[in-house]
């Protein structure tokens, strides 16, 4: 012991430097996962024209990723806990890169398969990334700063994906929306291999809850697919109702099994904690509004205002700037001193105000006067709220549960995104149809304007609903999350002593 004493003095500085370097590469990989949810959306028309697949097949390019990612997150989180988070992270990153490279084939079935494989490895990568941050940064101020950076990327990554997708599609080729992941992945994997020195030790002899894996995966896949089908078939369609009902039943059975097995996939203590449960629920609710907004504003900017894919991506930059300002400039600075809900409630309400402003759009609205400030306010509010919410969702968990607790953050966001896309799209479509029924053009010029008027009316109605959903998220945070901040584990007994990978 004494022999190591002379070198121990330099260890904290070295470890501190490595942790912050590691954070850069972890966040780079997480950005790759988040932006991949939207980067392909802008490239889809070009991919469809190039490969010649149908509209129904086009939907599967997006759905395959969502189903694999959302369905396997809990499994991926538990694998990270059992196997080791550094190993799971690097495997997920490299697998994601390999899946992206496989999408270069000239058949749409290969593209769909590549997207599904991306989802599989993202489900391993994402919870490992978040749990690494959670276990590496335990001191309150450092934790707030680390989660501020993570929250900004997690929130703004979708908008960055739209911008990057526009640039790559317009100036290179739609296939580069896949190839770019290889660049991200190689940098992230190499950096993680060099810099990450803190990870959960593999739990030799620990058993994997196979019934829990089967029930959770099938339940989540059924629920997410049912919500996806509701977007196209309607909420009263037989298939969507059957899938959603089956998913809920399977997840209820999953909860029953988890309460009885000795080594559960998802220990119920993770979600029954008042603060964590409130954080998961408020995050899922807020993401409903966020994903709906991204969908409608993309269509509004391109279809109504006539923006190019690239200009559409640029138009979303104020939201990304707001996210970063809220997460790093406000959340990270105030989180160590204030309870989470003191930031979350005003943050969600600020985002709701931004959406209320965006709901004022018309076919001739000024981007600088309406769209830009609305986007910025929404980003500022969500950035402020997301940072403490994500930190709260992972703080205080047992060290061996950090991966699955992190997976629940991603799962709540995936479910929220699926609900938001389906629910708000239904509201917008219904409002547009009602507008057509109640408005009768007086002349040919009025008839030509009617389409845009009806479309924008539908968008505006759905955005109003999204604003109300964010008010609900604020109410959930106010009611469910305790006023006193959760204690951050710093001792070996609380955090199970972080070990060298």
**What was the pLDDT predicted at 225?**
83
How far apart CA 181 and CA 402 sit, in angstroms, is 26
Q: Quote the pLDDT of residue 356.
A: 94
Q: What is the pLDDT along the chain (501 residues), one digit of tens a residue?
A: 434 344 334 344 455 667 788 888 888 888 888 777 777 777 777 777 777 776 556 667 777 887 888 888 888 888 887 888 888 899 999 999 898 887 666 677 788 888 889 889 998 988 888 888 888 887 778 888 888 888 777 667 777 787 888 788 778 877 888 888 888 888 988 888 887 875 445 555 567 778 888 888 888 888 888 877 877 777 788 888 999 899 999 999 988 988 888 878 888 888 888 888 888 999 989 988 887 777 788 888 888 888 887 888 888 889 888 988 998 888 888 888 888 889 999 999 999 999 999 999 998 888 999 999 999 999 999 989 988 888 888 877 777 777 788 888 888 888 887 788 778 888 888 888 888 888 776 666 666 678 888 889 998 999 999 999 999 999 999 998 876 544 544 443 444 433 333
Please give the pLDDT value at position 374: 94
3-state secondary structure 6-60: HHHCCHHHHHHHHHHHHHHHHHHHHHHHHHHHHHHHHHHHHHHHHHCCCHHHHHH
φ, ψ at 500 (rounded to 5°): -75, 130
φ, ψ of residue 207 to 5 degrees: the values are -95, 145
Separation of alpha carbons 291 and 424, rounded Å: 9
Helix (H) or strand (E) holding 370: none
Position 500 scores a pLDDT of: 34
Which pLDDT does position 335 carry in this prediction? 82
Q: What is the pLDDT of residue 492?
A: 38
Distance of alpha carbon 347 from alpha carbon 51, whole angstroms = 43
Considering the domain 13-208+265-488, what is its CATH architecture? Answer: Up-down Bundle (1.20)
Displacement of CA 47 from its chain's centroid (Å): 24
> Closest by alpha carbon to 320, among 18, 1, 29, 35?
35
The residue assigned the tokens 């270069």 is: 104
* β-pair type (198-199, 499-500): antiparallel
pLDDT of residue 353: 96
pTM, 2 dp? 0.81
What is the reported pLDDT for 179?
85
Q: What pLDDT is recorded for position 101?
A: 84
For residue 462, how many other CB atoms are within 10 A of its CB? 28
The sign one gets for the Cα dihedral 257, 262, 264, 270 is positive
Residue extents of the structural domains in the chain: 13-208+265-488, 209-264
The pLDDT, as a whole number, for residue 102 is 74
* Contacts of residue 260, Cβ cutoff 8 Å, sequence gap at least 6: none
* Spatial CA neighbour of 279 closest among 326, 213, 377, 347: 347
Residue 318: closest CA among 369, 408, 380: 380
């Amino acid at each position: 012991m004494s022999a190591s004493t002379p070198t121990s003095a330099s260890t904290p500085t070295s470890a501190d430097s490595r942790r912050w370097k590691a954070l850069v590469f972890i966040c780079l990989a997480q950005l790759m996962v988040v932006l991949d949810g939207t980067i392909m959306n802008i490239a889809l028309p070009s991919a469809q024209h190039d490969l010649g697949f149908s509209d129904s097949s086009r939907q599967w390019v997006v759905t395959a990723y969502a189903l694999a990612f959302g369905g396997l997150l809990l499994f991926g989180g538990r694998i990270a806990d059992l196997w080791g988070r550094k190993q799971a992270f690097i495997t997920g990153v490299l697998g994601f890169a390999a899946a992206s490279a496989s999408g270069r084939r000239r058949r749409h079935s290969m593209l769909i398969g590549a997207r599904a494989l991306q989802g599989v490895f993202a489900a391993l990568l994402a919870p490992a990334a978040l749990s690494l941050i959670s276990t590496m940064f335990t001191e309150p101020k450092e934790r707030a700063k680390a989660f501020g950076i993570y929250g900004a990327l997690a929130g703004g990554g979708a908008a960055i994906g739209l911008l990057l997708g526009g640039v790559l599609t317009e100036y290179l080729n739609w296939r580069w929306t896949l190839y770019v992941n290889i660049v991200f992945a190689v940098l992230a994997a190499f950096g993680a291999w060099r810099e990450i020195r803190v990870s959960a030790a593999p739990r030799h002899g620990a058993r994997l809850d196979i019934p829990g894996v089967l029930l959770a995966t099938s339940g989540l896949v059924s629920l997410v697919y049912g919500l996806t089908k509701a977007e196209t078939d309607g909420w009263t369609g037989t298939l969507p109702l059957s899938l959603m009902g089956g998913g809920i039943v399977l997840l209820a059975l999953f909860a029953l099994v988890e309460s009885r097995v000795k080594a559960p996939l998802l220990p119920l203590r993770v979600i029954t904690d008042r603060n964590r449960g409130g954080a998961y629920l408020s995050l899922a609710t807020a993401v409903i509004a966020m994903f709906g907004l991204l969908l409608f504003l993309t269509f509004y900017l391109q279809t109504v205002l006539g923006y190019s894919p690239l200009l559409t991506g640029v138009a979303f930059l104020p939201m990304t700037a707001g996210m970063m300002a809220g997460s790093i400039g406000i959340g990270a600075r105030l989180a160590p001193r204030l309870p989470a809900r003191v930031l979350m409630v005003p943050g969600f309400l600020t985002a709701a105000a931004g959406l209320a402003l965006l709901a004022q759009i018309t076919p001739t609205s000024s981007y600088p006067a309406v769209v830009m400030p609305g986007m910025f306010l929404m980003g500022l509010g969500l950035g402020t709220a997301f940072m403490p919410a994500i930190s709260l969702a992972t703080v205080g968990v047992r060290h061996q549960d950090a991966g699955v607790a992190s997976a629940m953050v991603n799962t709540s966001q995936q479910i929220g995104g699926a609900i938001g896309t389906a629910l708000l799209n239904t509201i917008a479509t219904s409002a547009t149809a009602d507008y057509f029924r109640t408005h009768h053009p007086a002349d040919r010029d009025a008839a030509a304007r009617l389409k845009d008027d009806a479309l924008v009316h539908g968008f505006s109605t759905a955005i109003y609903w999204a604003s109300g959903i964010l008010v609900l998220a604020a109410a959930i945070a106010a009611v469910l999350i305790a006023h006193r901040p959760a204690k951050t584990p710093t001792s070996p007994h609380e955090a199970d002593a972080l070990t060298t990978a």
